[in-house]
């Protein structure tokens, strides 16, 4: 809230502007989500049967564990890969900075379906990667890369990397370098300067990036469906299958509700300590 709006009489008029989007989102977001949740508890009357199915079948518990594992691995890899890149982008100046920012944004603009397709071409049995390794003589026969977790995770890191880089760059560009100089004058070495000052000041970007990547990774569908095998499916793929292959809406609802609770839990936890916009609204 801006201090001026408190005594600005038009404030209440502006609150009415929230009504149309509220009605639209109530009808087409809140009610549909409520339908999913209610549907997960109803069969012939109220029942927990669908949840029993989800939590007793090792197939489904494995899917959730696997989804969390992948989301965690992908987030960690994105952070490790993105941090030094963001550092360079934040500290380089002029055309190089502009060019690098554009190169981070361009893949973000291209379709996830198309990018996953590119990874399929790369990872196929007679694909670019296998052909290259064969001709180098590093392997004797093509490796099975498609339909493994490796393929899914590499492609997911690629797709989600810009979501980590951008909040990091924004935070790093706001870091006051006189603080680091002060630390240096007071006798801190480079490692200590980095750990005690720079890293701490960049933490808001780290949490925003990690939250954004982790939450997005949890709901990934296209990449695991195209590149993953039947052994390693993620939750969104299983939910879609439950509906389109098995026509089991209650099961899909129960699986969705569990995924919804996990996603919203992480998001609300994050929003509790920040503005909740995942660094997207700017300063």
Partner 1 sequence: MRPDTHPGSLMARIGNSALLVYAVLVLAFLMLPLAIIVPMSFSDQPYLTFPPSGWTWHWYEEVRNQPRWLTAAWNSVRIGVPVALLSVVFGTLAALAVTRSGSGWSKPFSLLVLAPMMLPHVIIAIGLYPTIVSLGLAGSYLAIVIGHTVVGIPFVFVTVSAALKNYPPTLDMAARTLGANGWKTFLRVTLPMTWPGIASGGLLAFATSFDELMLALFLTGIRTETLPRIIWDQLSFALTPTIAAAATLILLLTTLLLGIASLLGARRSRKGE
| Least distance between partner 1 and beta carbon 209 (Å) | 14
Which residue lies nearer to partner 1 by CB, 44 or 178? Answer: 178
- Asked if 260 contacts 239 with a C-beta cutoff of 8 angstroms, the reply is no
| Least distance between partner 1 and beta carbon 95 (Å) | 13
- Asked if 186 contacts 212 with a C-beta cutoff of 8 angstroms, the reply is no
Which residue lies nearer to partner 1 by CB, 40 or 232? Answer: 40
Cα–Cα distance between 121 and 125 in angstroms, integer?
Answer: 9
Nearest to 151 by CA among 245, 96, 226: 226
| Least distance between partner 1 and beta carbon 144 (Å) | 17
Cα–Cα distance between 176 and 93 in angstroms, integer?
Answer: 16
| Least distance between partner 1 and beta carbon 47 (Å) | 18
Nearest to 236 by CA among 216, 256, 254, 250: 256
- Asked if 223 contacts 112 with a C-beta cutoff of 8 angstroms, the reply is yes
């Amino acid at each position: 809230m801006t201090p001026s709006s408190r005594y600005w009489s038009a404030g209440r008029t502006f609150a009415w502007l929230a009504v149309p989007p509220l009605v639209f989102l109530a009808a087409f977001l809140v009610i549909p989500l409520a339908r999913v949740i209610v549907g997960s508890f109803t069969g012939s009357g109220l029942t927990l049967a669908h949840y029993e199915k989800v939590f007793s079948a090792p197939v489904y518990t494995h899917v959730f564990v696997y989804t969390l594992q992948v989301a965690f691995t992908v987030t960690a890899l994105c952070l490790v890969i993105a941090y030094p890149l963001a550092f360079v982008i934040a500290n380089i100046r002029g055309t190089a900075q502009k060019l690098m920012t554009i190169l981070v944004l361009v893949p973000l603009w291209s379709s996830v379906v198309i990018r996953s397709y590119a990874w399929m071409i790369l990872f196929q049995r007679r694909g670019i990667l296998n052909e290259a390794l064969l001709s180098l003589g590093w392997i004797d026969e093509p490796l099975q890369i498609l339909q493994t977790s490796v393929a899914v995770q590499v492609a997911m890191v690629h797709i989600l990397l810009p979501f980590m880089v951008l909040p990091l760059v924004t935070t790093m560009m706001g870091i006051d370098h006189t603080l680091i100089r002060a630390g240096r004058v007071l006798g801190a070495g480079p490692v200590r300067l980095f750990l005690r000052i720079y890293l701490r000041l960049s933490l808001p970007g780290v949490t925003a990036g990690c939250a954004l990547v982790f939450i997005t990774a949890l709901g990934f569908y296209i990449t695991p469906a195209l590149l993953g095998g039947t052994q390693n499916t993620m939750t969104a793929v299983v939910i879609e299958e439950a509906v389109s292959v098995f026509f089991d809406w209650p099961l899909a609802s129960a699986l969705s509700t569990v995924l919804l609770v996990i996603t919203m839990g992480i998001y609300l936890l994050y929003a509790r300590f920040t503005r909740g916009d995942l660094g997207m609204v700017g300063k």
